[in-house]
Amino acid sequence: MTSLHETGVTVRAPAKINLHLGVGPVRPDGFHPLATAYQAISLFSTVTATPADDWAVTCTGQVGIDTAGVPLDDTNLALRAAKLLAREHGVDQPVALHLDKGIPVAGGLAGGSADGAAALLACSLLWDLSLPPARLLELAGELGSDVPFGLVGGSASGHGRGELVEPLEDHGRYDWVVLTFDTGMSTPAVYADFDVLHEGVEVPDPEIPPALVAALRAGDARALADAVGNDLQPASLRLRPQLAEPLRAGLDASAYAALVSGSGPTCLFLCGDPDHAASVAAALSPYGRALVCHGPVPGATVL
Ligand X SMILES: C[C@](O)(CO)[C@H](O)COP(=O)(O)OP(=O)(O)OC[C@H]1O[C@@H](n2ccc(N)nc2=O)[C@H](O)[C@@H]1O
Ligand Y SMILES: Nc1ncnc2c1ncn2[C@@H]1O[C@H](COP(=O)(O)OP(=O)(O)OP(=O)(O)O)[C@@H](O)[C@H]1O
The footprint of ligand Y (CB under 6 A) covers 69-71, 75-78, 99, 105-113, 115, 146, 187, 262-263
What is the layout of strands, in order, in the sheet containing 267-271?
A: 257-260, 267-271, 174-180, 289-295
Among 102, 246, 250, 262, binds ligand X (CB under 6 A): 262
Site stretch for ligand X (CB under 6 A), options 30-38, 64-72, 96-104, 166-174 = 30-38
Query: Shortest gap between Cβ of 149 and ligand X (angstroms)?
Result: 8
112 is in an annotated binding site: yes
- Contact partners, residue 154, CB within 8 Å, separation at least 6: 39, 40, 167, 168, 170, 296, 297, 298, 299
159 binds ligand X (CB under 6 A): no
Residue 65 vs 177, nearer CB to ligand Y: 65
Neighbour tally for 71: CB within 10 Å? 12
Residue 273 known to be catalytic? no
The CA distances from residue 29 to 33, 126, 144, 274, in Å, are: 11, 35, 14, 43
Query: Shortest gap between Cβ of 151 and ligand X (angstroms)?
Result: 13
Residue 82 vs 190, nearer CB to ligand X: 190
In terms of Cα–Cα distance, which of 13, 2, 295 is closest to 152? 13
Q: Give the separation between CA 61 and CA 98, rounded to whole angstroms.
A: 11
Peptide bond connecting 14 to the previous residue in cis, omega within 30 degrees of 0: no
24 is in an annotated binding site: no
Q: What angle do CA 40, 43, 49 make, to 5 degrees?
A: 95
Residue 205 known to be catalytic? no
186 is in an annotated binding site: no
Query: Shortest gap between Cβ of 282 and ligand Y (angstroms)?
Result: 25
Burial of 236 (0-12, 13-18, 19+ CB in 10 A): buried
151 binds ligand X (CB under 6 A): no
* Residue 292 interacts with, from ligand X, ligand Y, none (CB under 5-8 Å by kind): none
Contact mark string toward ligand X, 161..200, x via CB under 6 A: xx------------------------xx--x---------
Burial of 55 (0-12, 13-18, 19+ CB in 10 A): middle
Going by the annotation, the residues of the binding site for ATP are: 104-114
**Site for ligand X, rule CB under 6 A:** 18, 21, 30-32, 34, 36, 110, 113, 144-146, 161-162, 187-188, 191, 262-263
Question: Annotated active-site positions, please?
Answer: 16, 146
